Amino acid sequence: LQTIGPFKDFTAIIGPNGAGKSNLMDAISFVLGVRTGQLRGAQLKDLIYAYDDREKEQKGRRAFVRLVYLLANGSELHFTRTITSSGGSEYRIDGKVVNWDEYNARLRSLGILVKARNFLVFQGDVESIASKNPKELTALLEQISGSEELKREYEDLEEKKASAEEKSALVYQNKRTVVMERKQKKEQKEEAEKHLRLQDQLKALKKEHFLWQLFIIDKDIKKTTDDLEAERRNREGVMQELEKFELEASKKKKEQVKYLKEIAQCEKKIAEKSSKLDKNQPELVKLNGETSRINSKIKSSRKELDKKREERRKHSDEIDELQKGIQDLAAKLEDLHEKSRDGGEKLPLADSQLTEYFRIKEDAGMKTIKLRDEKEVLDRQQHADMEAQKNLEENLQQLINREHELDAQEAQMRTRQKKIQDTSTKNKKELADLKKELREMQDKHRDSRNKYENLKSRIGEVEIQLREVKADRHENERDAKLSQAVETLKRLFPGVHGRMTGLCRPTQKKYNLAVTVAMGKFMDAVVQRLPPQTFIPLQSVRVKPIVERLRTLGGTAKLVLNNCTFDPVLEKAILFAVGNTLVCDDLDEAKVLSWSGERFKVVTVDGILLSKSGTMTGGTSGGMEARSKQWDDKKIEELKKKKEQLEKELEELGSIREMHLKESEASGKISGLEKKIQYAEIEKRSIEDKLENLKREKHIIKEEIDRLKPELQKVKDAVDKRATVISKLEKRINEIVDRIYKDFSKTVGVANIREYEENHVKAAQHMAEERLSLSN
């Protein structure tokens, strides 16, 4: 056992760390009935001192604390609390076991309130009390003073007071409602009477309108009947013409069948002719070559004919000159006679020698006749072969020339084909680019048209919304000036955020009136960072925290804050304006929340405000409905800006007609390029067909050249061989003639008879011929 005390009226326990201050406080708290959770230990056994863990785990360990209280009459009162071996707690007063209630009641009778702990000041309690707010201090004072026991009775009386105030407010509200309904009924009566008058006027106007419609319909019926009759007559004429045209069409169909048969036969003949033409194509090419050669000869013959005609013209001119020179010829003939006489004197041959010459010549001719005949045959064959060689050479040269022409044509066509191919490739690339551009343009135009229609529709919707928003003109002018002033403040002072109506919005339109009532005078407040005058200072404004359980009350009850949309930065300002105010759809639900149990500030969607004090104000007739329309001011401004933005976007889209023109222009270019490509393809196929024909013709010409070259070479070889034979024959003939004329040649004095014939005989013959010519 350890005895501590006695304790005076005020005792402070001090000492160094580990001296046992907390143990003493725990012992005092334990004996006064403080719960284990407020002491140092999870269970009572943890409070019993143990040297080590083994001793701590021993069973049957007990401990107790006894408090000796000295009464005013000098007697002692013993309070004992024991930790039993089972770990429970046992209370005794003067050694008698009692329960906790008796134990606590006896302590309470002595002014010791265990729950309030008004007799113990633990470490940190002074600081804790100093940091309490007035409300918490009040609660602590009520607990210490014992007035907390009267709280239930006070709350019951407060609830009865609230119920009475509610009944009073309801009576007052009913009175106001009756007055309003009376006024409303009077207005409705006047409106109904006006409605009846307007209905009578409407009936009269409708009657007149329907009569006018009947008149117009009757007039239209007459006109339509006349038109129908005229159309019927016209239809009869058209039907007659139709029958005539059908009869004519029947005849034409018969003729068409006849022509189709003829066309089929013609096509069959054309196919047969085409087949024959393909078979005769090689011969045709050969004939074309022959024709080309003949045409070439005709051209050369025509040139020769022109030349002969020119010579004939010249000869005609020469005849005239020759006739003039006949006298000169006579003189020349005389001179020739004189020369003949002179030449006759020079010739060594006599007439007998000439006679001998001709006799020998005749004899030589008889002896060489066989050789001469053979030579003549060979000469004829040689001449024929030489003509054939000439023709073959001409034909070969013409074929070679034609081959060169075909090569030139092929090169030209290849160049043209390449040019067409390059142009076609370029056009195709340009066509693909244009088509891609057209598709992009069409997509862009389609998007632009859709956007244009969408923008027009949205502008129309905005205009309808602007027309639907109705407010008092004076109020609009006032709000416009106020908005202008706020905008100026926002521009001059970056810390100014704007009016409350511009910073947040009810999540649904039905909450407009409720949020208006909940905000009250703060609805037009301006939120900024500094705290002058009626502005809400965003940085230093003090707000009560949101009671989180109000978010889950159920029913239609919601926090007004949760029904507003705003920037999270402005949450403190919005919370300052609306606080923990609730909004409900129904008045009865609002009454239950506001006036039953814990009281809340509640507002209905109709604008009725129920305060914690039990008052009920507001409603649709309290002027709040008009103020609630201010929530639409920002919407109106946003709609106007939106309309301006949409009109600007509409203007930036440009004219739809210009889009159509650009699209038509691109389509025209594409059509032109497609035609160019189509014509190029046609020309390309034509060139390919021509190249194929050229290829076939070149092949035929090459075959013909290959055929003519061996034949020409054969003819050349034959001519050369025959020329050698003819030369040998001439040599043999000359040897025989020289042997026969040997004696005669010696007599005349020449080496051989050919020398004589070439000199003297030819001269004599030439003189005779010249004489004969001049004589003629």
Positive or negative, the Cα torsion across 458, 459, 462, 468? negative
Residue 286: the pLDDT is: 64
The SS3 of residue 96 is: strand
Backbone angles phi, psi at 398, to 5 degrees: -65, -40
At what angle are helices 281-324 and 151-279 packed, to 10 degrees?
50
Q: Which of 511, 509, 508, 506 is nearest to 585 (CA)?
A: 511
Question: Which position has the higher pLDDT, 571 or 753?
Answer: 571
Question: How far out from the chain centre does Cα 472 lie?
Answer: 48
**For 648, phi and psi rounded to 5 degrees?**
-65, -45
pLDDT value of residue 345: 43
CB atoms within 10 A of CB 536: 21
Is the pLDDT at 622 greater than 60? The verdict is: no
How would DSSP label each residue in 703-717? HHHHHHHHHHHHHHH
Average pLDDT rounded to a whole number, residues 140-149: 72
**Ranges of H-type helices in 469-620:** 473-492, 500-503, 512-519, 571-578, 587-595
- Please say if the pLDDT value at position 507 is more than 50: yes
pLDDT digits (tens, 9 = 90+) for 308-322: 888 778 777 777 776
Q: Which residues have a Cβ under 8 Å from the Cβ of 356 and sit 6 or more positions away?
A: 744
Contacting residues for 312 by C-beta, under 8 A, at least 6 apart: none
- Mean pLDDT, the chain, rounded, equals 76
Residues 6+ apart with CB under 8 A from 618: 517, 603, 607, 608, 609, 624
- The reported pLDDT for the residue numbered 129 is 77
| Alpha carbon distance 427, 674 (integer Å) | 8
What's the confidence (pLDDT) of residue 531? Answer: 39
Q: What is the mean pLDDT of residues 394-405?
A: 86
Query: Between the ranges 13-17, 212-216, 444-448, 451-455, where is the mean pLDDT highest?
Result: 212-216
- Give pLDDT tens digits for 81-111: 888 877 788 889 888 889 988 888 888 888 7
Tell me the average pLDDT across 540-566: 76
DSSP tag of 544: P
Confidence (pLDDT) at 445: 77
C-alpha span between 169 and 587 (Å, rounded): 13
Give me the pLDDT at residue 204, please: 92
Please write the tens of the pLDDT for every residue from 171-230: 887 888 888 888 888 888 888 888 889 889 989 998 998 899 899 889 888 988 888 888
- Mean pLDDT: which of 426-430, 485-489, 733-737 is highest? 426-430
Q: Which domains does the chain have, with CATH numbers?
A: 21-145 (3.40.50.300), 500-628 (no CATH)
Per-residue pLDDT band at 529 (split at 50, 70, 90): very low
Position 472 pLDDT exceeds 50: no
Evaluate whether 297 touches 407 at the Cβ level (below 8 Å): no
Q: How far is CA 561 from the centre of its chain?
A: 44
CB 508 within 8 A of CB 560: no
Averaging pLDDT over each range in 162-166, 248-252, 607-611, which range is the top one? 162-166
Strand ranges, E, within 589-648: 602-604, 608-610, 616-618
Cβ–Cβ < 8 Å for 573, 538: yes
Strand partners, 63: 83
Question: What is the pTM (predicted TM-score) of this model?
Answer: 0.33
Selection from 51, 44, 47, 52 nearest residue 22 by Cα: 47
Q: Give CA–CA dist 174/9, Å, rounded.
A: 62
> Which of 17-21, 53-57, 726-730 has the highest average model confidence (pLDDT)?
726-730
Beta strands in 135-285 (DSSP E): none
> What is the number of residues in the chain?
776
Give the pLDDT of residue 532: 41
Mean pLDDT across the stretch 697-706?
87
Statement: residue 477 has pLDDT above 80? no
Residue 515 has pLDDT above 80, yes or no: no
pLDDT at 168: 86
pLDDT at 620: 47
Give the tens place of pLDDT for each residue, 578-604. 777 888 887 877 777 777 767 778 888
pLDDT > 60? residue 343 = no
C-beta separation of 629 from 506 below 8 A:
no
CA angle 740, 743, 747 (to 5 degrees): 135
CA-based nearest residue to 570, from 504, 495, 486, 494: 504
476 pLDDT above the threshold of 60? no
